[in-house]
Amino acid sequence: MSDDAVLPLDSWHRARDARMASFAGYAMPIQYEGIIAEHLWTRENAGLFDVSHMGQLFFSGDGVEAAIEALTPADVEGLALGRQRYSLLLTGDGGIIDDLMIARWRQGIYMVVNAATKGADIAHIEPHLPDNVSMKVLTDRALIALQGPKAAEALGRHVSGEYGLDALIFMAGGQYRLAGEDVWISRSGYTGEDGFEISLPATIVEEVAEALCGEPEVKPIGLGARDSLRLEAGLPLYGHDIDEHTSPIEAGLGFALSKRRREAGDFPGAAQIIRQREEGPSKKRVGLIVEGRQPVREGALVVDAEGQEIGKVTSGGFSPSLEKPIAMAYVPAALAEPGTEIALQQRGKPFAGTVTALPFVPHTYHRQPKP
Amino acid sequence: MARYFTEEHEWIDVDGDSATIGITDYAQEQLGDIVFVEVPDAGAMLEKGDDAAVVESVKAASDVYAPVSGEVMEGNDLLAEEPGLVNSAPEEEGWFFRMTLSDKDELNGLMDAKEYKDFIASL
């Protein structure tokens, strides 16, 4: 038997005939009825994802903002109550240790980090914290996401709060009541769709999953479709599209560098990152639509006319929504304009791709109407 | 006509000196939604164990090996347009290729239907 850690919804997934597989040390549902069906269901209705393997951290104490700012390019001081931001843990020379979400709760700062990296993240963060700032790993909480155009409607029947879910715009969150407990709900996700992420006590997650999947709009969705959805949405996957050897500028994540911190130049790797932002990076993460039907996968090469390696595919697969193969790759900056034809090679076989603006499938986030 | 199975989850229908080859229902179930299949061209000479075909699901690519040696007579052209046939009818319309058998003794090491059923039950 495997040594995989078991998450609170394990038996619930198995009762729904999920195919379970090891992912980042956890037994996780890869698929239920099939990746394509689950993917399309999420784009048209609403899908429930178990992401309890991710790390949920909570920071509190005097100086918590400065402590997190010392590790990330986020403007934590300026982060209002109930707002969430995408940010990065950076190395001293500007490489990406992890990508993450931070949000301001009433008593402190809540952070969600990737499952595969959470141990290393904690080891990196802990020694940097001043004595009066504490970090708690919220191991007693589960994390689920409800994603898709009908997510708000379905979730709305189960939650109550000071404000309705309508009050939440993209990247905002708040305290709500769900199954008799206090939960944190943010309007965010990893599919490109409108939707929510819900941090809740592990003791009620099965009841909540059951109730949500009892709604006609909702089906459980596995990690397989989570990956194809995020790829279509152009969202990078840590350890694949970004890592310690890619910079936020190369990765197209410049938006994660808050204006205040950029101007102050006081985050890890700021000198390198700001210089690269001004001078332009030598390589860039781009989207590719691949000719034909055969997908190119992570590790396929971007080549020049002589067949020499000039870049690499970091994620690739078949897009259920576009019904064609798509990929993300790092290419030389001169080849990063949409429309540029890119030569690829996988297992000795040539492929052709065209640079395409990300996302491949438009985001449908619930944003504040423009005045 | 006798049907044989391999530990790589291929089925082989033998008819005289030729054989039709595909992947089993168990294999397609494990692979999930199949989005691309590449079959060998007629005339290709295959040695047992050679890469013969490629099958790609949403998640990953897998090789299909030649379970026996011989010359490819025909690949299933339908799979280029309809790779999903491998999911819906893996042991019928979703066949991969037909080949001649250059050494019928190679069939001796293969499983019959009952042995294959026991084999997948043991996985």
Report residue A169 as tokens.
Answer: 């715009």
Q: Which residues of B touch A (CB under 8 A)?
A: 32-33, 35-36, 38, 54, 56-61, 80, 83
Q: Do A294 and B60 touch (CB under 8 A)?
A: no
Selected from 3.30.200.20, 3.40.50.300, 3.40.50.720, 3.30.1360.120, the CATH number assigned to the domain covering A10-52+139-232 reads: 3.30.1360.120
CA distance A242 to chain B (A): 19
CATH class belonging to B2-121: mainly beta
CA distance B72 to chain A (A): 21
CA of residue B26 relative to chain centroid, distance? 12
SS (H, E, C) A135-170: EEECCCEEEEEEECCCHHHHHHCCCECCCCHHHCCC
**What is residue A2's predicted lDDT score, i.e. its pLDDT?**
66
Element (H, E) at A223: helix A223-232
CA distance A20 to chain B (A): 11
Q: Which residues of B touch A37 (CB under 8 A)?
A: 33
Question: If you count residue pairs, one on A and one on B, with CB atoms under 8 Å apart, how many are there?
Answer: 41
CATH 3.30.1360.120 in chain A: give the residue spans: 10-52+139-232
Q: Please tell me the number of Cα atoms within 13 Å of A27 on its side-chain side.
A: 17
Q: Do B36 and A35 touch (CB under 8 A)?
A: no
Q: Which residues of A carry a binding-site annotation for substrate? A: 197
Q: Which residues of B touch A295 (CB under 8 A)?
A: 35-36, 56, 61
Report residue A303 as tokens.
Answer: 């080549």
Measure the CA dihedral A332/A334/A339/A342, to 10°: -40
Selected from 2.40.30.110, 3.40.50.180, 3.90.180.10, 3.40.50.720, the CATH number assigned to the domain covering A282-356 reads: 2.40.30.110
**What is residue A3's predicted lDDT score, i.e. its pLDDT?**
85
Q: Which residues of A carry a binding-site annotation? A: 197
Tens of pLDDT, residues B95-109: 999 999 999 999 998
CATH 2.40.30.110 in chain A: give the residue spans: 282-356
**What is residue A86's predicted lDDT score, i.e. its pLDDT?**
98
Q: Calculate the alpha carbon distances from B32 to A53, A314, B11, B21, B122 in Å.
A: 23, 22, 18, 19, 20
Interface mutation target, options A30, A237, A318, chain B, most CBs of B under 10 Å: A318
Interface mutation target, options B59, B81, B85, B123, chain A, most CBs of A under 10 Å: B59
Identity of residue A145: A
DSSP letter (8 states) at residue A194: S
Instruction: Print pLDDT tens along chain A (371 aa).
Output: 468 999 999 999 999 999 999 999 999 999 999 999 999 999 999 999 999 999 999 999 999 999 999 999 999 999 999 999 999 999 999 999 999 999 999 999 999 999 999 999 999 999 999 999 999 999 999 999 999 999 999 999 999 998 899 999 999 999 999 999 999 999 999 999 999 999 999 999 999 999 999 999 999 999 999 999 999 999 999 999 999 999 999 999 999 999 999 999 999 999 999 999 999 999 999 999 999 999 999 999 999 999 999 999 999 999 999 999 999 999 999 999 999 999 999 999 999 999 999 999 999 999 987 76
CA distance B37 to chain A (A): 8
DSSP letter (8 states) at residue A292: S
Instruction: Find the CB nearest A35 among B32, B61, B83.
Output: B32
Helix H segments across chain B?
A: 25-31, 78-81, 85-88, 113-121
